[in-house]
Amino acid sequence: MIRAWLLTLVMVTSPIAADPQVAPLPATPSDDTFADVWPIMASPMTGDLDAMIARGEIRILTTFSLGWYYIDGGHPMGITYENGRNFEAFARRILGAPAKLLKVTLIPVRRDQLIPYLVQGYGDLIFANLTVTERRQGQIAFSAPISDDTQELIVTTAEFGEVTSLHQLAGKQVTVRRESSYYDSLMTMNERLKRKGRTEIQIDVADPRLEDEDLLKFVSSGVFQATVVDKHKLPVWLKRYPNLITLDAVPIRTDAQVAYGLRQHSPQLQSLMDRYATTYRTGGHTVNVLHHRFLQDDRWLTHARSSNNLDTLAQLQQWFQTYAEQYQFDWVLLASFAYQESKFKQTARSSAGAVGIMQVLPSTAADKQVAIKDIHKPENNIHAGTKYLSVIRSRYFDDEALSPFDQMIFSIAAYNAGPNRINRLRQQASQRGLDPNRWFGNVEYLAAARIGSETVNYVANIYRYYIVYKRGLSELGQKRQLQRAMEGGGNSGSLP
């Protein structure tokens, strides 16, 4: 089930990750890293803020992590999601007219991919609760800190034994990701132990697919002896796993700074991010509300564990795939379109009379070019909506000057605003020196001016859902592969 992507995670430490059945984990993007996710992301794009404004998008790299960026009921949720929305509004306000349609797009990746992808131009910022470390400062730049009093604590259970001083950690095993600041902190602790002639802490390297909450679960269940987590992240998880304890007497890092990451030598973006970070620091009202909602109050976690998440998509997946193949669409794009239209609800009805998952008008379904009956049935509704998109594409956007990607995007825009209106906007775009064959950064500007923000936001939302679904499904495939490897080794773990 796709729900496993969000709430079922597999314990994999370094010996298991070396299993030949498990796919390698490249930290450096291949040439087609995002080619199957979204064509305009397939090539790296660098440059400073002016280049981002010119292309109409700032790309934020983040990770899937419960409470920070996760999917609930098909929709992105969490601190990072809300922070991204807030940053988009802030950037538009500060930058003014040139950035009035600037999109902020969150792109979830693995933890070990964050910095390599940023440096190589597959993202522009990192929003991932990054601690500023000497190692990281040699690779990327950081904004002004959003917090400068972060503590990193060892989290374990009573079986670990009492620890009130550093020397009592000698020889103990602690599991962390190699790319984390926690790893650096433990290495520093080991240097101190070594100077005192003590046995070093045994650092067990976790698979980079595992987030802090996953490691906490495995400590709680006894799979791992201990891990390390930022103190401010812990309250909700200590409620969830009451057998966990923190070694407050021996913090492994204190007064750490947390900040946003960006490429070095980007003075314009640096200025914007410094201003944003100082405006919305930890301790301010906006951040406090989010932290209380997701890091203190655990009601969201109960809902996330009990809601259908993406199970509905799993139930509809076969039909999306069948009709996407028949009409030459990307099935995840169709699913993203359907979520925007109806939240995957076949019972959805619009004031205009559109019905079902794809919000198809009965008159459209009955038209001889579509001719699909019984659109009250989910499969037929998906068939009718997909076929109608295909009709729009063939009739209005079958133009060699349009890439297959833009043919799909213009068809989706036309589904919302009408094909004749969209083609008139393309003609006007050409007259104004804009590219009539590209929606993003070109025709969308005229759409906003002529018909308002509805269609622009409609297409942008589908774009965002597509990225998160596509990346999430990719992560799920990797986790399933790891789970098979773990089952072969006799171990597995899951978040209940």
Residue 355 near residue 376, CB atoms below 8 Å: yes
Nearest-angstrom CA–CA distance, 404 and 424: 20
Map tokens 């995957």 to a residue. Answer: 344
Q: What is the dihedral of CA 120, 123, 128, 132, to 10 degrees?
A: 40
From the list 249, 238, 247, 248, the residue with the least C-alpha distance to 216 is 238
Please check whether residue 311 is in contact with residue 74, taking contact to mean a CB–CB distance below 8 angstroms.
Answer: no
Amino acid at 221: S
Could you tell me which of 392, 421, 424 has the C-alpha nearest to residue 409? 392
Question: Which pair of tokens denotes residue 68?
Answer: 């920070």
Question: For residue 1, what are its two tokens?
Answer: 């089930």
Q: Regarding beta strands 202-206 and 226-230, do their DSSP bridges make them parallel or antiparallel, or are they unpaired?
A: unpaired
Helix (H) / strand (E) containing 125: strand 125-131
> Which residues carry out catalysis?
341
Burial class, 425, CB count within 10 angstroms (exposed 0-12 / middle 13-18 / buried 19+): buried
Spell out the alpha helix ranges (H) of 285-403: 285-291, 299-306, 311-327, 331-342, 362-366, 378-396
d(CA 203, CA 299): 34
Q: What would the two tokens of residue 16 be?
A: 């298991």
Bridge partners for 65 per DSSP? 69
Q: Which residues of 242-253 are buried (b: 16+ CB within 10 A; e: fewer)?
A: eebbbbeebbbb
Q: Which amino acid is at 470?
A: K
Which of 134, 111, 266 shows the shortest CA–CA distance to 180?
111
Distance between CA 150 and CA 158 in Å, rounded? 24
Residue whose structure tokens are 């698979």: 207
